[in-house]
């Protein structure tokens, strides 16, 4: 396995400035992302955490998912007053969701090892499963390679309410059929049977989509000591009761802080993926059907976005005590809750997460003046290059870094045009220019006779040029037929490295890689040399 850092172009302004540590954006964070361990540790020592209670809940949840022994060892270490966590999270996608979920967990594991070596204290990697999220359409599918394109496999199970994914019973029969269909797109390898059996056994032991997700993560990461938490689990909700009370009591200050910060960031021309209003509460309420309702506030009234429900502040505070499972956080209050629960030495996030965390500093302060946004570390980003793709890149003399930044289409078109001498595009360009020059005296003559005739002459040259473009188009189609094998090779490179002009990790399911290599390639990355979190992206050549 070879791992090479590469530079990605065209990242958004906020992320560019954050990575370059520009003052304009880092004013909105509390710590330098890479050089603040001692400062952060000193701040954490001034706070207290219910480590015993948290460890008890983590033990309960991870036991439910049949976690490996290394996970429970890490949970025990959390009881040590000196211990800290690195944390990041994601929704519970089918078959773990796209590769970026796996890449994020690799980031957590590597960063925990790095911090532990440096600080000489226990550092526990925690993955926060956002089980309260209700966007089923975002997690109910995977993409797999099919020829030189990709096929979307969507779960046949339908949801009609905005329920938290953690509470949705998984239809084992339908999902099993869906898994079998997905495996039809995979080439049979020495790992296929074992992979299929491990997925099916995880499904059969699962009640919800979060259960299925968590069990699969432990199949992929069986020995790395990963600790999982489902933010929607009733035990977690009960543990968060006092913290929800704080969020409700300080809601006006939280909402005002986020709204004002987003306006300031927009004035600096930073793109922030948050749509906020002054009356947002950033808290959801779950009704009798467990449907998730976003609350707005009007004075002492907390009202459903579509007026489905209305509660007084006193009634909502009572809910935190008697029925905390009816409450959940949104993207604003979830980071605050996470910070209140865990002694976090660093949060690991993707570009989108970093963008909205930029709006949260004053919201943290609104809950507690001493509460700080933890160091926010950009997660590691990978593109995996199989032996097959390596061979195609060598055959076509293409640098994968170019494909990641520019795609494959221009390279493919230039190669196709160059198969004729002179090149087709050059030939047609020259002919069009010559027609333009030869026709000009006719247009001039026609215009000198009458303006109407001049207009006809201009239409005539436009018609000729259009016919040339048509002939060029037909020529390209025939060339594509003639050089079909070469075109397919270019398409395969693009499809594998940057499908649909999107990074591989945002499209492809890990299923194809696990089928080809098992989870050994993941273990090798985690056990290998440290990777710098300062680099934008890595190419990983799989042998």
**Three-class secondary structure of residue 466 per DSSP:** helix
Q: For 44-70, how does the pLDDT look when each residue is reduced to its tens digit (9 = 90+)?
A: 999 999 999 999 999 999 999 999 999
Distance CA 192, CA 424 (A): 45
Q: How does pLDDT run along the chain (543 residues), one tens digit per residue?
A: 999 999 998 678 999 999 999 999 999 999 999 999 999 999 999 999 999 999 999 999 999 999 999 999 999 999 999 999 999 999 999 999 999 999 999 999 999 999 999 999 999 999 999 988 888 888 899 999 876 778 899 999 988 778 888 888 999 999 999 999 999 989 999 999 999 999 999 999 999 999 999 999 999 999 999 999 999 999 999 999 999 999 999 999 999 999 999 999 999 999 998 889 988 999 999 998 888 999 999 999 999 988 889 999 999 999 999 999 999 999 999 999 999 999 999 999 999 999 999 999 999 999 999 999 999 999 999 999 999 999 999 999 999 999 999 999 999 888 888 887 777 878 888 888 988 898 999 999 999 999 999 999 999 999 999 999 899 888 888 887 888 888 899 999 999 999 989 999 999 999 999 999 999 999 999 999 999 999 989 999 998
DSSP 347: E
Give the other-Cβ count within 10 Å of 50's Cβ.
13
Picking from 240, 387, 426, 399, the residue whose alpha carbon sits closest to that of residue 323 is 240
Quick check: bond before 422 cis, omega within 30?
yes
- CA atoms lying within 13 Å on the CB side of residue 233: 22
Task: Give exposure, 209-246, as e/b (b: 16+ Cβ within 10 Å).
Answer: bbbbbbbbbbbbbbebbbbbbbbbbebbbebbbebbbb
Looking only at the bridges linking them, the beta strands covering 310-312 and 301-304 are antiparallel
List C-alpha distances in Å: 449 to 4, 441, 452, 462: 68, 12, 9, 20
- Per the structure block, which two tokens stand in for 425? 């595009």
**Three-class secondary structure of residue 529 per DSSP:** coil
Domain map (residue ranges) of the chain: 385-516
Q: Which residues fall within 8 angstroms of residue 158, CB to CB, at 6 or more apart?
A: none
pTM: 0.91
Q: For 388-444, how does the pLDDT look when each residue is reduced to its tens digit (9 = 90+)?
A: 999 999 999 999 999 999 999 999 888 888 887 777 878 888 888 988 898 999 999
Picking from 128, 202, 209, the residue whose alpha carbon sits closest to that of residue 167 is 209
Picking from 233, 225, 198, the residue whose alpha carbon sits closest to that of residue 212 is 198
Distance CA 222, CA 520 (A): 11
């Amino acid at each position: 396995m070879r791992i090479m850092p590469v530079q990605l172009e065209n990242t958004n302004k906020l992320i560019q400035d954050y990575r370059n540590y520009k003052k304009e954006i880092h004013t909105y964070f509390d710590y330098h992302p890479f050089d603040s361990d001692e400062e952060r540790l000193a701040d954490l020592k001034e706070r207290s955490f219910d480590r015993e209670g948290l460890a008890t809940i983590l033990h309960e949840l991870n036991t439910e998912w049949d976690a490996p022994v290394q996970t429970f060892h890490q949970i025990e270490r959390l009881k040590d007053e000196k211990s800290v966590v690195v944390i990041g999270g994601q929704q519970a996608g089918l078959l773990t969701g796209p590769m970026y979920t796996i890449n994020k967990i690799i980031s957590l594991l590597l960063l925990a090892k790095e911090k532990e070596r440096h600080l000489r204290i226990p550092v526990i990697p925690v993955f926060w499963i956002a089980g309260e999220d209700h966007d089923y359409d975002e997690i109910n599918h995977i993409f797999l390679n099919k020829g030189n394109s990709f096929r979307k496999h969507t779960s046949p199970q339908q949801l009609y309410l905005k329920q938290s994914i953690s509470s949705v019973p998984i239809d084992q029969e339908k999902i099993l059929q869906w898994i079998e269909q997905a495996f039809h797109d995979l080439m049979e390898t020495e790992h296929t049977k074992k992979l299929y059996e491990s997925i099916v056994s995880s499904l059969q032991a699962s009640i919800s989509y979060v259960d299925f997700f968590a069990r699969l993560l432990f199949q992929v990461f069986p020995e790395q000591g990963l600790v999982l938490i489902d933010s929607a689990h009733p035990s977690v909700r009960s543990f968060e009761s006092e913290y929800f009370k704080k969020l409700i009591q300080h809601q006006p200050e939280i909402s005002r802080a986020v709204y004002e910060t987003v306006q300031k960031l927009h004035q600096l021309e930073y793109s922030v993926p948050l749509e906020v209003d002054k009356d947002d509460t950033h808290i959801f309420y779950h009704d009798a059907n467990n449907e998730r309702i976003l609350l707005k506030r009007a004075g002492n009234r907390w009202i459903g976005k579509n007026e489905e429900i209305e509660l007084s502040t006193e009634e909502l505070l009572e809910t935190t005590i008697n029925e905390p499972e009816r409450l959940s956080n949104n993207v604003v209050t979830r980071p605050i809750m996470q910070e209140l629960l865990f002694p976090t030495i660093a949060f690991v996030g993707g570009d989108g997460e970093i963008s909205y965390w930029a709006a949260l500093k004053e919201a943290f302060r609104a809950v507690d003046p001493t509460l700080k946004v933890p160091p926010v570390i950009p997660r590691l980003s990978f593109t995996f290059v199989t032996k097959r793709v390596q061979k195609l890149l060598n055959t076509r003399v293409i640098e994968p870094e170019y494909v990641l930044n520019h795609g494959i289409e221009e390279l493919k078109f230039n190669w196709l045009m160059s198969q004729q001498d002179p090149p087709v595009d050059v030939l047609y360009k020259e002919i069009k220019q010559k027609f333009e020059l030869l026709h000009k005296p006719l247009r001039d003559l026609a215009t000198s006779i009458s303006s109407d005739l001049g207009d006809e002459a201009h239409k005539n040259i436009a018609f000729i040029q259009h016919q040339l473009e048509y002939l060029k188009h037909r020529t390209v189609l025939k060339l594509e037929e003639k050089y079909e094998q070469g075109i397919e090779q270019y398409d395969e490179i693009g499809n594998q490295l940057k499908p649909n002009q999107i990074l591989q990790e945002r499209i492809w399911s890990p299923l194809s890689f696990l089928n080809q290599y098992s989870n050994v390639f993941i273990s090798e990355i985690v056990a290998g040399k440290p990777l710098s979190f300062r680099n934008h992206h890595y190419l990983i050549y799989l042998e």
